[in-house]
Amino acid sequence: MESTSQTSLFERLKESLDSLRKSERKVAELVTEDPTFVMESSMSAVAARAGVSEPTVMRFCTGLGFDGFQAFKLALAQALILGVPSVESAMNRGDSVAELASKIFDQTISSIDRSRRFLDPDQMEQAVTAILGSRALVFIGLSASGLIAQDALQKAQLFGIPCSAPSDTHQQFMAAAMTDPETTFVVISNTGRTRSTMRVAEMARSRGATVIGISGDDDTPMMRVCDVKIVAKTFENTDIYTPTVSRLAGLVVIDILSTAVSLRRGEAHFADFEAMKAGLAGYARMSDRETDSGSASFD
């Protein structure tokens, strides 16, 4: 049985590379070099190109915890569609737009998959109950994380309790300084080291508010002062021209939280929601099309 652990196949392969035997390593290298070939080839072909015998390939597969070559190939196929390892997907100047798009989609999907595997359900659960039990919500973030905060605000406004997402640092701090124990703060920072966001978190905490932290890592200064710690881990390449995929993971976390909260608020709230949606439909839609409140979402 393959352990459906947190790490993806390629990561697992990489870290177990030095614990492998010499000839098995050849197989591992072939897999990382040309995974597509391995995926669509037979065991004999793989063995031949790696310069080893077939049982070695077999041992390589079972050694990684798979039932056999076939099972490994399936896992490889799945890992492959979540994006090729970042080595190949580095972007360079000569790339066509189509190539860029392909690489960015690869990175995006595999990053989201990664954040999925790292997301702690317990912390999410705690976050949901905290939100459900509070009388007001405040979302805090800057730049990319600020957008996540704004997005969260848009969704949280449907919860039926006062919520805000001040965008400049002074207003953020003021909100924290004036808060109370019945308010929940959601502080967002991918790095977890944004100074002003940290100060807001500390202040809110000291005022007795519940503080939920969303960050790319669990051991950051900001997270240490949070009651609930939600980790949205991504590949976030340090490369300059790499798009910031962290915000996408953050947005998915917001999706999950808001959906969970909405579901637990029950029918009464549901009716309000419908009314709001119907009103919005008449607002900004074209008149030559039927303004069906159902099929249209928010923009």
Q: Dump the DSSP string for 85-108.
A: -TTTT---TT--HHHHHHHHHHHH
Tell me: does residue 200 bind a second copy (CB under 8 A). no
Kindly state whether residue 147 participates in binding a second copy, applying the rule CB under 8 A: yes
> Of the listed pieces 37-45, 118-126, 197-205, 216-224, which binds DNA according to CB under 7 A?
37-45
Q: Does 36 bind DNA (CB under 7 A)?
A: no
- Residue whose entry in the numeric block shows the structure tokens 């508010």: 209
Half-sphere exposure of 298 (CA within 13 A, CB side): 7
When asked if residue 21 is in the footprint of DNA (CB under 7 A), the reply is: yes
The residue (of 171 and 181) whose beta carbon lies closer to a second copy is 171
When binding is defined by CB under 8 A, the residue of 20, 130, 142, 204 that contacts a second copy is 142
Binding mask 54-83 for DNA (x = CB under 7 A): xxx-xx-x-----xxxxx------------
Other beta carbons less than 10 A from residue 96's beta carbon: 8
**Pairing of the two strands 136-140 and 163-164:** parallel
Question: Which H or E run contains 79?
Answer: helix 69-81
Q: Shortest CA distance to 8 belongs to which of 124, 120, 109, 123?
A: 109
162-191: which residues touch a second copy (CB under 8 A)? 188-191
* Listed ranges 38-46, 258-266, 267-275, 282-290: which one lies at the site for DNA (CB under 7 A): 38-46
- Stretch binding a second copy (CB under 8 A), from 24-32, 50-58, 91-99, 178-186: 91-99
For residue 58 the two structure tokens come to 């077999």
Q: How far apart are the first and last CA of the chain?
A: 45
190's contact among a second copy, DNA, none, with CB below 5 to 8 A by partner kind, is: a second copy
Tokens of 203: 């202040």
Total residues interacting with a second copy, rule: CB under 8 A? 88
188 in Cβ contact with 149 (< 8 Å): yes
| Binding at 144: pick from a second copy, DNA, none (beta carbon under 5-8 Å per type) | a second copy
In contact, 149 and 139? CB cutoff 8 Å: yes
Residue closer to DNA, measured from CB, 48 or 144: 48
Rounded Cα gap, residues 56 and 40, in angstroms: 18
Residue from 45, 58, 77, 278 touching a second copy (CB under 8 A): that is 77
Rounded least distance, CB 247 to a second copy, Å: 7
The residues of the shown chain that bind DNA, judged by CB under 7 A, are 21-24, 42-45, 51-56, 58-59, 61, 67-71
